[in-house]
Amino acid sequence: MLRWILFVIVYLAMALYTLQALRSGTRFPWLHYLYLAIALLILGNFIYQFTVGDDTGRVLNRPKSYAFGFLIAILTFNLITIFFLFSEDIYRMLMAGYHRLFGGRAEFSLPGRRRFISLMALGLASIPFGALLYGMYRGKYRFRVLKYDLEFKDLPDGFHNYTITQISDVHSGSFDNREKIEYGVSLINQQQSDVILFTGDLVNNKTSEMIPWADLFATLKAPDGKYSILGNHDYGDYIPWDTEEEKAQNLQDLKKLQREMGFDLLLNEHRYLERGGDRIALIGVENWGRGGFKKAGDLRKATEGIHPGDFKVLLSHDPSHWEDQVIHDDLHYHLTLSGHTHGMQFGIEIPGWIKWSPVKWRYKYWAGVYEELGQFINVNRGFGFLGYPGRVGIWPEITVIRLRKTGLS
C-alpha cells in the first residue's frame, strides 16, 4: 500500500509540474483540463488493472499491458517536459543568488523566455509520446523481412543458395488483431524458403494463449519442414501455479501443440537436413540464459552422434548462450539462430547509419548478424511483443538467410 501511495504522490507531482508548461505555453484552459483528465484516467486505469482488475498478480494480460503502455507514454512526456522546466527554474534560482551576492535586481519572472521554453519542452516531449502511441497502434504489427547472405568455405555443395526463414518470440498471449497476424504468417510463407526455424517463446506463460492462433501457424509450409525450440517464457516460470503438476502439464501441452502445428520440436537434440547426397546438422537446445534465466540447454546431449566436421546450424533462444558457451565450444557451430532480446521493442535503426537500443547495455549481441571466431549468429528481433504492447523503431522481424558456398556463383 505504501508504494502505491508514494507512486501516486510522485505521479501527481509530475503531472502538476507539466501542467505549468501547458499554462505557460498555451492560453486554452480546455487543453489544461484535457491533459489533467487524460493523466488521471491513465493513473486510475493503471492502479485498477494492477490491483483489482482481472488476473491480478504476475500475469501480464492485455489490459495490464495497455495500462502499462499508456503509463510509459505519459511518463515519458512528463519527464522530458519537466527536464526543461526544471533546468530553467534552476537557472533562475542561480541568477537570483548571483544578483543578491553581487548586487543588482533579480529577475524571477521572465514570461517570454518561460513561454518559449515551455513550448519547446512540450514540442520535444510530444515526439516520443506520439511515437509510443504509434508503436501501440501500428508499430507492433509493422512486419518487415530482413535478408542476409552468409558465405562459408566448408558449406556442402548441395546447400549452396539454401534458404532459411527464421522467426522468434511469437508471444501469442499478446496478440489482439487476427487480420494482422494472418498477414504476418502469409509474409513468412511468401518467402518460400527451404526450411522454417522458430527460436522460442511461443507464448507468454500458458499454452492456452496459443490455441486461438494455432490454426494460422499450422499453415506455415517449407519443403524441408519447420523446426522449433523452447524459449524462457515457454516453461511457465513467470506466473504462479496451483501445483507443480499443473505447471508440468502446461509444458507438456505446449510441446504437444507445437507438434500438432507441424513443428519438429528439438529438445537438446539434432536432425540432419539432406540435399543431393550432402547434409547439414540442425541442432536445437532448450533455453540457456545468463542472469537468472533457465539453463536447460545441453550442447553435449544435443550433439551426441554428430561428427565434428559436419556443417552445423544451432537453434538457441538466448544470445548470451552463444557468447558464454557456444563460440568457445570445441565444436565449430557455423551458424547460430537466436531471439529473446526483442531489440527491447524500442530503438533507432537506419540501415548503414545507426543501430541503437537501450538493450545493448544488457546484451552485446542484441539484433542482426554478428561474427566471432569464424562463427555467425543472427539475433532475430521477434515476431510478437511483450510488456509494452508496441514497438518503436525496432519492428517485428522475419529473417531470411541464404547460405552460400565461397567460390560458387
Q: Residue 360: what pLDDT? A: 95
Q: Residue 108: what pLDDT? A: 47
Average pLDDT, the chain: 92
Q: Residue 92: what pLDDT? A: 63
Strands 348-350 and 269-275: unpaired
d(CA 329, CA 348): 33
- H or E element that contains 370: strand 368-372
Q: What is the pTM of this model?
A: 0.91
Per residue in 182-195, pLDDT (tens digit) is 999 999 999 999 99
The number of residues making up the chain comes to 409
Per residue in 14-65, pLDDT (tens digit) is 999 899 888 887 888 888 999 999 999 999 999 999 888 665 455 677 889 9
Quote the Cα angle for 138-143-146, to 5°: 145
Closest CA to 406 of 221, 149, 136: 149
Q: Residue 398: what pLDDT? A: 98
Task: Judge residue 360's burial from the number of C-beta atoms within 10 Å of its C-beta, 0-12 exposed, 13-18 middle, 19 or more buried.
Answer: middle
Topology of the domain covering 143-405: Purple Acid Phosphatase; chain A, domain 2 (3.60.21)
Per residue in 137-149, pLDDT (tens digit) is 999 999 999 999 9
Domain residue ranges in the chain:
2-137, 143-405
Our separate counts of H helices and E strands in the chain read: 9, 14
Closest CA to 232 of 343, 324, 316: 316
Closest CA to 163 of 405, 408, 400: 400
Judged against a pLDDT cut of 90, whether residue 78 lies above it is answered with: yes
Q: Residue 107: what pLDDT? A: 52
d(CA 340, CA 128): 24
Q: Residue 247: what pLDDT? A: 97
CB 18 within 8 A of CB 53: no
Per residue in 292-331, pLDDT (tens digit) is 899 999 999 999 999 999 999 999 999 999 999 999 999 9
How would DSSP label each residue in 33-51? HHHHHHHHHHHHHHHHHTT
- DSSP H helical ranges for 26-155: 29-49, 62-102, 111-137
Quote the Cα angle for 162-364-348, to 5°: 85
Per residue in 202-226, pLDDT (tens digit) is 999 999 999 999 999 999 999 999 9
Q: Which residue has the cell 502446461?
A: 250
Distance of CA 39 to the CA centre of its chain: 26
Q: Residue 105: what pLDDT? A: 55
Q: Residue 292: what pLDDT? A: 87
165-169, 268-272, 353-357, range with the lowest pLDDT: 353-357
How would DSSP label each residue in 336-355? EEE--SGGGGB-EEETTTEE
Strands 348-350 and 312-315: unpaired
